[in-house]
């Protein structure tokens, strides 16, 4: 009644922005959309991102063209471990260069195939297969070494010798000694190849014992195939090869007696040079203060280790435990210690129980190769 017919009130003014409540709702929705899109993009693979490249070393050899590669022992594991590209046979004449790719961290043999010799590390001889450096530079010292943690805590290595002299004693030692303990085989023993395989399957690193001339020889006699100061260099090298050919898969040798031989440079130096050329470790049991082993090993690029004490000079459990505790004190003070002994029943029993307790006290039991000074890695 108060307005003319056909006339309506003015329309409310159009809002350019939503009402305050609507604005909040729209803003929240937009935020969710943007955040979700960002998450989706973040989860997409980055086309510019590359996985870290595996660091390898490159070595150059000069093999003959179209030379077949050496046959390798099959790896029995499905685990993704670094592989080694075998280099073909080394020719007598020069040829085109071949790049050999090696993983420098791949040290040691897979324990599941540790009883199988690496054919690239063998040289056939009249005395049997002898250890040699592979054409790609690998040494028996590297390949047959038992892996260890690499930590810099207190480390103790224990080497038990006289393996293969007693069948029952050898079987007991392999079965009862912890795998971290290194075993040394006497060349006068029996069935060394079989016992070597048993020891390697159990995870032990192994050595060959080398009979060397003591004072008062031959009244004091290390046994057959003893290297002597009166023999010529050629005779001693031939005898050395007889010892080395008794089995395979060892990282090196250790002296058996030898106080006189190791003090005579003229006799000892050719032997050490042969060990260096073959890539083998030399362990001196530390029993002779006149030994030239350390000096000659450095000259011949031989990995070298020296024992701190013989743990079973007295075949008594209490006396052996005292020596083992002495090794622990040395290791805590210096970082490492090395003890040697023989495969007597009391030694095997005492070492087995001591190792279990030492581990609980933070001592790492390591193979002898872990304590060797290596001139090629300085």
359-369 pLDDT, tens per residue? 999 999 999 99
Q: How far apart are CA 153 and CA 3, in angstroms?
A: 102
The pLDDT score that the predictor gives to residue 112 is 81
265-296: pLDDT as tens digits: 999 999 999 999 999 999 999 999 999 999 99
Contact 268/239 with Cβ under 8 angstroms? no
Burial of 141 (0-12, 13-18, 19+ CB in 10 A): buried
Chain centroid, CA 139 distance in Å:
11
Q: What is the largest CA-CA distance in the chain?
A: 147
Q: pLDDT averaged over the chain?
A: 81
Q: What is the mean pLDDT of residues 297-316?
A: 98
Closest CA to 320 of 335, 336, 305, 339: 339
Domain with CATH 3.20.20.370 in the chain: 143-377
- What tokens appear for 100 in the block? 């050999």
Spell 233-243 as b/e; 16+ CB within 10 A means b: eeebbbbbbbb
Over residues 41-60, the mean pLDDT reads: 40
Q: In the prediction, which pLDDT does 31 show?
A: 52
Whose tokens are 């070494």? That residue is: 145
Q: Is the dihedral of CA 321, 323, 327, 329 positive or negative?
A: positive
Q: Which residue has the higher pLDDT, 73 or 253?
A: 253
Which two structure tokens, joined as six digits, stand for 71? 């046959």
| CATH annotation of 143-377 | 3.20.20.370
pTM value surpassing 0.85: no
- Integer Cα distance of 352 and 267 in angstroms: 38
Tokens linked to 313: 């000079």
For residue 63, pLDDT over 90 is answered with: no
**pLDDT score recorded for residue 111:** 72
272 vs 299: CA distance, rounded Å = 9
Per-residue confidence (pLDDT) for residue 110, from 0 to 100: 77
Between 108 and 251, residue with greater pLDDT: 251
Q: Could you tell me which of 99, 192, 114 has the C-alpha nearest to residue 146?
A: 114
> CB burial class (10 A; 0-12, 13-18, 19+) of residue 194?
middle
3-state secondary structure of 355: helix
Q: Which residue has the higher pLDDT, 101 or 261?
A: 261
């Amino acid at each position: 009644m108060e307005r003319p017919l056909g006339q309506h009130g003015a329309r409310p003014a159009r809002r350019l922005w939503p009402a305050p409540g609507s604005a909040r709702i729209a803003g929240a929705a937009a935020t969710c959309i943007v955040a979700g899109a960002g998450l989706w993009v973040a989860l997409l693979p980055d086309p510019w991102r590359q996985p870290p490249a595996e660091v390898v070393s490159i070595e150059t050899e000069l093999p003959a063209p179209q030379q077949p590669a050496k046959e390798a022992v099959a790896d029995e594991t499905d685990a993704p471990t670094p592989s080694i590209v075998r280099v073909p046979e080394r020719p007598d004449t020069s040829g085109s260069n071949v790049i050999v790719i090696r993983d420098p961290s791949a040290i040691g043999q897979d324990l599941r195939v540790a009883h199988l010799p690496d054919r690239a590390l063998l040289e056939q001889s009249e005395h049997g297969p002898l250890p040699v450096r592979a054409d790609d530079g690998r040494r028996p010292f590297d390949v047959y070494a038992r892996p260890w943690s690499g930590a810099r805590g207190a480390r103790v290595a224990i080497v038990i010798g006289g393996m293969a002299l007693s069948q029952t004693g050898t079987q007991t030692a392999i079965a009862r000694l912890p795998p971290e303990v290194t075993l040394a085989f006497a060349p006068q023993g029996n069935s060394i190849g079989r016992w070597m395989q048993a020891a390697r399957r159990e995870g032990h690193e192994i050595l060959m014992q080398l009979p060397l001339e003591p004072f008062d020889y031959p009244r004091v006699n290390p046994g057959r195939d003893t290297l002597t100061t009166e023999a010529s260099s050629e005779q001693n090298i031939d005898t050395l090869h007889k010892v080395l050919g008794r089995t395979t898969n060892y990282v090196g040798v250790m002296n058996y007696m030898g106080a006189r031989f190791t003090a005579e440079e003229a006799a000892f130096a050719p032997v050490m040079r042969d060990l260096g050329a073959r890539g083998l470790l030399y362990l001196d049991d530390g029993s002779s203060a006149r030994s030239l082993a350390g000096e000659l090993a450095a000259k011949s690029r031989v990995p070298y280790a020296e024992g701190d004490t013989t743990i079973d000079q007295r075949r008594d459990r209490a006396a052996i435990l005292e020596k083992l505790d002495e090794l622990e004190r040395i290791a805590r003070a210096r970082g490492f210690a090395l003890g040697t002994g023989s495969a007597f029943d009391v030694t095997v029993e005492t070492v087995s129980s001591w190792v279990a307790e030492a581990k609980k006290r933070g001592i790492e039991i390591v193979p002898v190769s872990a304590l060797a000074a290596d001139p090629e890695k300085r």
